[in-house]
Structures are given as structure tokens and as C-alpha cells.
Structure 1
Amino acid sequence: MRHFAIVGSGPAGFYTAEALEKAYGEAGRIDILDRYPVPYGLIRFGVAPDHQSLKAVSKRYDKVAESAGVDFIGNVTIGRDVSVAELLGLYDAVILATGAPHDRKLGIPGEDLPGVVGSAEFVGWYNGHPEFADLDPPLGGSHAAVVGNGNVALDCARILAKTRHEFEGSDIVGHALDALDGSAIRTITILGRRGPHQIAMTPKELGELGQLEAAVPVVDPADFPPVEADEPLEPGLRKSVTLLRGFADLADDKRKRMVFDFFAKPVRIEGDGKVERIIVERTELDEKGAARGTGETYEVPASLVITAIGYSTSPIAEVPFEGGKFVNQAGRIADRLYAVGWARRGPTGTIGTNRPDGYEVADQIAAAIPAESESDREGAAGLKRLLESRGVMPTDYDDWRRIEETEVSRARPGSPREKFVRHEDWLKVLGR
């Protein structure tokens, strides 16, 4: 019997567990560890609550978790409750699938002013992440700005623009729904350093903006190159640019506006004790397609600024770390230690990108550790004994099902669940 520990229960972790289970069958035992008592990581805390079809991928993960050779061990923090070295002593291989939960900084003056929040914080707030439940973003002003030209920036802007009615069927948490319902924000400016041809926004997410009840997307046709310049673009990007162009034809007759401000580089954030405006430099593209400043600056009013320019992984003691991810070669960090997903690649790709990534690393492990060979490592039995000696009470998949059933029972009409947003509330359901 071989024993494997996967640290992180998001998409990368579950896809890797699926691959290892297929590779080893009854000869392998796979434990998926997470610092929270509940699984799914990015699916629970990162995917927009009004994108329930994306969250449905968790049903596939359920099948993995219910496999005979797979266990979930939650409420365990690596580096605090148990070290990577200790895991390597208990398991034949350890795979880090910890994602990239930290916001990258803009690196400009004023970004520490109250009212400037990272997208991980804002998304965590409306998705019920326990670390951000008390964020209380300032929604009392009329202007907000979102810095970034990817899907996360679109998610944040769309959430700010939606009506309460439009959240029916979503699992946005109650405290965020109530706060957004009372929001005074009427203009949301989406700032991007480059132009429409350089966006990282997908057609589905862009297409939603043209269907909002109370908000209209606004673009400046002068920001676009001639239409024939769209032809060489990759098909998905070409479709996104076509959607953007179409926004220019929409009637600007709704009470909220989502303004796409391209060729706009934030250079500083200003305000008297809190954010009030962003000073932006107009840019242009150089011969290599990079943004360069023109020297022309202007101000964008904003009492809330959300930065959505990327993420970085959490370092772990004694694991090589550089550039916001673990140092690795094709997923291998060191002997019997691997990384998958954003912890391996950085924050790129979609949820589905993690599947081939996980299978590649599982193939490496299977080649290095033959299924027919025996192991003298204890795996879960040894880990649980060690955790008990340290007063740590792990949760399992049955515990998660009890939590899930309780969240479903608490749901407001039309919602699939009302999430608990406090660590202690999860454990209270379990009588701990």
C-alpha cells in the first residue's frame, strides 16, 4: 500500500487525487488535507456566487472524495499543525495544491489607504471566506474603480452592479447581499493598462454585462483599432472584442454605468484618510505591445478601489519559493515533494486547466513509486495520531456533509445554501 498526501482541496487537489486514484487503485491511499473544515477551495470561496454552473464541478469532486481510497482531512494547517517534513515522513509523496490566495500589490503610493481592497478580499467577502467576513467594503460613495482587465475584475464589477433580484439562485452570503442592496455606487470604472486587444476577459463573462437589469457597460469607440485588426486574434479573444465593440451601441439609460477605461495606468491613489480618487496616466502600446506612459494624467473618482491584477501562493517553511509560487521543475519540487495548480504555475488558466496539470504530476509519481511496491509509511493513521497529540481535531468528509446539510437548511428562498462564514460555526455544527 502506498500513501499520498495532497495539501489543498481545491480543483488542483481534487484532480490530482482523481489521477492518483486511477493510477494506484486499491494499492494507493490518498488523503486530501485542508486548513478549513470544508473542502473545495476556489470553488467555494473564489467562483462567483451567481455562476452556479461553474460551482457544479464540485459534484465531480464528490465522486472522488467518496472513492474507497480517498479521504478528506480538514481543519489542519500545514506549517502550524504539521510540517511538510513530517508529512514526508508519513507519506510516500506530498503534493502541494495550496492555490494562490494572496493579492498582488499595485506598488503605487496610496494603495494602503482605507477603501483600497484586493480582489481576493472582496471576492472572499461576498463568498463567505472566514478571513474576509468582516471586510465591510465602503459602498456609501457613488464611484468605485476596479483595476484589472481579467475575469476576476469583471466578477467584482458585475457583483457591484447587480440588483438584489439578480442574485436569486446564487449563494452569495447574506451579509454581502444586504450590503450590496444598500450600495450607493452608480459608476464602476474598470481600468486597464492596455487596450481591448490585450484583455484577458472571456466572452461568457463579458456577454453577461449587456444583460444586467440596472447597469450598462460603456466603452469609447476611439479605444479600438479598425475592425479588420480583429481578424488575426485568437477566436475567443476576437469574440470578446466583438462584444466590447457592441457595448458602444447600447442605450446609456440605466442608473448604473460600468465604464471600460483602457490605456489607463494607475500611478497613485489619493484621499484624506481614505481613498477618494485614483490618479491615472494615459498609456500607449510600444512596438512590442507593452504599455508605456504618455505623461498625460487625469483623475478617476472612487471611494472604493478593488485591485484585480493577480495572486500569489502562500510560502511554506523549508519549501523553495520564488515569484509567488513554489520553485519546481514540471511540478517536482524535491524528492517525493510536488506542486500542482496555481502553486506550481502561478495564477493562470481556468478551473479545467488544473486537470491535465494534476494528471501530469500523478504520472510522474506513479513512474517514481511503482504501485506494486510496498511502503513502510503510516499515512493517515500516523497523521491522525500526531494531530491528536497536538490537540488538533481534524474533520472528515462525513463532517463536511453535516455542515453542508445545515447550510442548505439555512438557505433563503431560491438560494442553494446560506454559508457559514466563521470557523467556529463550522465546528459548532459538529458539536466541537
Structure 2
Amino acid sequence: MTYVITQSCCNDASCVEVCPVDCIHPGPDEPGFGAAEMLYIHPDECIDCGACEDACPVNAIFPDYEVPDAFAPYVDINAAFFEFTGEQDEPAPLPPPGAKIPGGPLKVAVVGAGPAGWYVAEELAATRRCDVEITVIDRLATPYGLVRYGVAPDHLDTKEIVSGFAKTARHRRVRTRYNVEIGRDVTHEELLGAHHAVVYTTGAGEGRSLGLPGEELPGSTSAAELVGWYNGHPDRAALSFPLAHERAVIIGNGNVALDLARLLLADEEALQASDLAPAALSALAASGIREVVVTARRGAEHAAFTSPELRALADDPHLDVVVDEADLGSLPTDADLTERDAGTFAALQKADLLRDLAARPRTDAAKRLVLRFGLTPTEILGADTVAGVRFDTGEEIEAGLVVRATGYRSAGVAGVPSEEGSGRFLHEAGRVTGSRATYTAGWAKRGPSGVIGTNRACAAETVRTLLDDYAAGSLAEPTGEPLDDLLAARGVIVVGQTGWNTLDTHERESGKEIGRPRAKVTDREEQVRIAALARV
């Protein structure tokens, strides 16, 4: 028997840490980790101990005899990875933990309660170099950022990763202050005055503009807006979108684009089983969309989606996934690939899957997803509302909804230097350049790349830098007014972890009454009101 990693792998690598025989690859310290779509278990080296299954935060690991039918291909995929890549490279040596730091406690504010923020808090809480007091802050009244408001609402296993974050929130070194916005309730300098260091993990939540004519038309939107709407983000829950036309076009073909396509084409049963926001559920259940065309500027060999994401769509019996064989001439074959690493294995997995889809006969499924390549949009068509998209080839595709899924940008923070255009913080190993005692991790640090678990290694690098700076005496003692005193004087209503737990329980119990995982509260004032029933 062997254990098998399946579709919802988040690359968190908790499984790697607990494996007693080092049979899970690539690990965070191995060369192929950054390019890997997921992690894999070597079937001949696994000793069936089950430690990885217990450690996995997203329920992605199963004994081979218990792998659900929907994930059956992953038994062979895990084995194929090792057949393709051969003997694994030696991991890079871990940096030394560093000497004990006298004095303390080190006071750190972590701004942004999404995955990157919690990985930073986890690393700091676990350090033995010094005592630490960690305050996790978020401008929203709810924690978990990307997991609550970005992960697709039907990916409930992926959302289970928050159980680890909740454990960190209970750590004796950690306290939480939600519904607190830097720049609105307290300035960056005031926050620095109350702490030795500030770490910004504020993500990248703004959609990118393509600058196309017609982009401002109703029915033209960004992935950030549409994803925020259906996930019930308080800033976007009140938006509305035209869903009556039978076709939607998505520009860009990353995993977010495929998530959008899947949700736009989902039937009511699938929508009910998700934690989709109530208003979005009603709108999507009544949608007239029957076809989604996902377009990409470059060829199929550059497809940005991962093979697990496409495989899930390909296996949906209610959906016809259409790929034109003529678009696939530049895809690699096994014989073409001289490099045998995680990146080229991922490329081959995608290529084989696309070829399989192109060879499939068309079905009579009621809905279909069309993947197109080599199309650069030049104009969004329409007079008073979106009517379609024109591409550089001269082709026009009629549609009532056009979504730009071409990346995200960070909003930045007043008083902290950031890169023009992307909004991310310029840094050296997580230390923000041009701002004292200021650090960053996650998408705000490296841009919108990787999956949830990628943030873990990113956070570890930042925390090493911060602790080394503290050991070197580079972080001044805080002399400003304590954060809680500032917030109290300004009448800020603070939501703590206990308040969030009250809101979380309310949503789950409300959902249970109507047969759903949760009924999200999307109005910020209502969130705060419910959370206030508990003590901070």
C-alpha cells in the first residue's frame, strides 16, 4: 500500500515535514518546488505510516485503496512523476536557526490575515530565538483573506486549510485585531511606533486593466470583481453582472479563469453545495450562460492553468470541454523534453490532457467550455452594454459578459514605498526597501504567483530576515502609544478571534438550516454586529 496526493494539494508541504522516509517531493528546499503543480508520494518508498494524511490541511492525501473514484488518475500521476524525473535532487541545506536573542519580547504587527499573514505568525510563534508578541491585523471584520474571498466556493477541501490558521490564532503569543485599517484607523508610522517591526501581507486584490476600448462598458469586469462578488466580499457583494446571454468570454487562462468558467457553468445542485454568497447563488442559479470561451494570447504550450484544475473540468459529465487540435501543434511530447524536472513534468501533464480533450468526440452536454489559444483582444464590443470581443485575428466572439482574468495588483499602503503598476512592495529577502523596520510576505511581496502553500516558504524567508535584523540591533524599541490605546481613543470597533468565531458559528448554523455549508454574511456592519455578541 502507498499513500497518494490528489487534486486539492495546496503545496503547503506540511506532509514533507512529517514524512519519516523523505518520500514526498519536491519539498520547499528542492530545486523543483517553485515549478511544481502539486507534490507527489513515491509509491516504492512510502512505508504506509499515514503521517502525511494526518498532516495535510486540505484533505488531499489518501491510502491508494481509498482514493475516491474522481481522483483515481492521481494514483498513476504520483508514480509517473518519479518515473519521469528519476532520482530526486538533494534538498538545499536549511539556514541555521540563529543564536538566541537577549531581551524582548519582540513586538511584531502582521497586517493582513490571509494565508501569508498566518504563515508569518506561525513562523514567529514557533521561534525559539526570542520571546515574541504578534498582533495579526486585518481591515476586514473577517480573517483568512484569499481563502474566504478568493478560493472558489466549491473548493471546500482547500478552505479546510484555515483550521491550521485558527490553531495559530489560539497560540499564546498571538492576538488578533480585525476591522482595523492601516491608513484609516491608524497610520503606518503609528503602527511602527507601537512595535519593533511591521510585516505587510496585504495580498493583491485589485484587478488589472488591459486598456482596451470598451473596457468600461457594463458587462465588462475583472476577475477580482466577479470572484469577490460570488464569494461575498463586503466591498463587492452588492455588485451585479449580466448573466442572461448564453455566452461569456474570459480573457486569460490561469486557474482563476477556469474557476470562473466552472462557477458560471455550474448547475444549481453544485452551487447549493458550495459556500457561494446568497445573492450570487440566486443570480447564478437563474443564469442563462450555456457556454464559456476561455481565451489566451499565447499558444497552448504556455497555458497558465494547472493540469489538476483542468482535469477536474474534463471529468465533469455535465460539461463538454472543447479544444481544437489545430491549436496544439506546439505542445511538447515526452521525447521533446530533455530536462526531467517538476516544471517539465507539469508541462507534459497539461499537454497530454489537452491532446486527450481535443481527441474526444463532442457530447450532448447542456453546457460547454471552449479553450482558445493565440487570440489577443483588441476591443470589447457594444454600445450601451457588452456585446462581444474582437481579437487581433479579426475574429469576433459574441458575448454578454467579458471577464479580464489577466492578473491582480496590490493596493499598497500609504507611507510605504511600492512598485508602480503592480503595487507590490520592493524588498530584499522580505525587508521592504526605503522603509525602516518594515517587511512583507505573500503576493504583496512577490506578486500574484503560486498557490496557497507557496506562501509558507515565502513567509519563512521574511521571518528569518526580521529575526536576524532584531539580533543585529537594527530594530528600535517601540516608544509610541500602544495600538489598543490608539484604537480605543478613536472609537474603532475591533473584532477579535472570539468575535470571528461567533460570526463563523452563526454562518455555519444558518447554512445548516438550509442544507448548505454556510450562509455567508456579506454586509460589513452586520458582520461586526454579530461578532460584537462576543468579547474581543
1:82-101 pair list within 5 angstroms = 82-101=186-205
Q: Does 1:305 align with 2:409?
A: no
Map of 2:231 onto structure 1:
127
Residue 206 (structure 1) shift: 0.3
Map of 2:290 onto structure 1:
186
Residue 250 (structure 1) shift: 4.2
Q: Report the residue type matching 1:310 in the other structure.
A: G
Normalized per residue, the structure richer in strand is: 1
Picking from 383, 394, 416, the partner of 2:494 is 394
SS in 2 for 1:68: coil
Distance 1:270 1:198 in 2: 27
Alignment TM-score, normalising by the size of structure 1: 0.92
Map of 2:530 onto structure 1:
429
SS in 2 for 1:351: coil
- Shift of the 29–142 alpha-carbon distance from structure 1 to 2, 3 Å rule, reads same
Q: Does 1:406 align with 2:506?
A: yes
Map of 1:287 onto structure 2:
none
Alignment TM-score, normalising by the size of structure 2: 0.75
SS in 2 for 1:297: coil
Root-mean-square deviation (CA, aligned residues, Å) is: 2.0
1:12-411 pair list within 5 angstroms = 12-24=116-128, 27-225=131-329, 229=333, 231-232=336-337, 234-248=344-358, 249-281=360-392, 296-322=393-419, 323-324=421-422, 325-333=424-432, 334-370=435-471, 376-377=477-478, 382-411=482-511
Q: Per-residue displacement from partner, 1:274-302 (whole Å, max 9, x unpaired)?
A: 11010011xxxxxxxxxxxxxx3110111
Q: Report the residue type matching 1:398 in the other structure.
A: T
Residue 326 (structure 1) shift: 1.2
Distance 2:382 2:363 in 1: 30
Map of 1:292 onto structure 2:
none
Q: Report the residue type matching 2:148 in the other structure.
A: R
Higher-RCO chain (CA-CA 8 Å, sequence separation at least 6): 1
SS in 2 for 1:257: strand
**Corresponding pairs, count:** 417
Contact 1:143 1:302 in 2 (8 A): yes
Distance 2:125 2:380 in 1: 50
- Shift of the 23–227 alpha-carbon distance from structure 1 to 2, 3 Å rule, reads closer
Q: Report the residue type matching 2:524 in the other structure.
A: H
- Shift of the 181–213 alpha-carbon distance from structure 1 to 2, 3 Å rule, reads farther
Contact 2:142 2:178 in 1 (8 A): yes
Contact 2:213 2:379 in 1 (8 A): yes
Contact 2:125 2:173 in 1 (8 A): yes
Residue 140 (structure 1) shift: 0.7
Q: Report the residue type matching 1:237 in the other structure.
A: A
Structure 1 unmatched ranges of 5 or more: 282-295
Q: Per-residue displacement from partner, 1:102-137 (whole Å, max 9, x unpaired)?
A: 001111111111101110111111111011111111
SS in 1 for 2:239: coil
Distance 2:531 2:276 in 1: 23
- Shift of the 250–352 alpha-carbon distance from structure 1 to 2, 3 Å rule, reads farther
Q: Report the residue type matching 1:87 in the other structure.
A: L
Distance 2:489 2:446 in 1: 35
% identical aligned pairs: 39
Map of 1:420 onto structure 2:
521
Q: Per-residue displacement from partner, 1:76-114 (whole Å, max 9, x unpaired)?
A: 011111111111110000000000000011111111111
Q: Report the residue type matching 2:290 in the other structure.
A: R
Distance 2:128 2:286 in 1: 53
Map of 2:29 onto structure 1:
none
Distance 1:106 1:375 in 2: 43
Contact 1:31 1:71 in 2 (8 A): yes
Distance 2:369 2:219 in 1: 19
Contact 2:217 2:385 in 1 (8 A): yes
Contact 1:38 1:74 in 2 (8 A): yes
SS in 2 for 1:234: helix
Contact 1:27 1:371 in 2 (8 A): no
- Shift of the 404–26 alpha-carbon distance from structure 1 to 2, 3 Å rule, reads farther
Distance 2:406 2:231 in 1: 19
Distance 1:347 1:145 in 2: 22
Contact 1:162 1:212 in 2 (8 A): no
Distance 1:115 1:128 in 2: 19
Structure 2 unmatched ranges of 5 or more: 1-104, 338-342
Distance 1:329 1:372 in 2: 18
Deviates more, 1:313-322 or 1:34-43: 313-322
Deviates more, 1:150-159 or 1:173-182: 173-182
Q: Report the residue type matching 1:393 in the other structure.
A: I
Contact 1:34 1:74 in 2 (8 A): yes
Contact 2:251 2:294 in 1 (8 A): yes
Distance 1:7 1:250 in 2: 51
Contact 2:322 2:362 in 1 (8 A): no
Residue 215 (structure 1) shift: 2.2
SS in 1 for 2:428: coil
Distance 2:215 2:494 in 1: 38
Q: Report the residue type matching 1:117 in the other structure.
A: T
Distance 2:242 2:455 in 1: 35
SS in 2 for 1:140: coil
Residue 25 (structure 1) shift: 7.4
- Shift of the 343–431 alpha-carbon distance from structure 1 to 2, 3 Å rule, reads closer
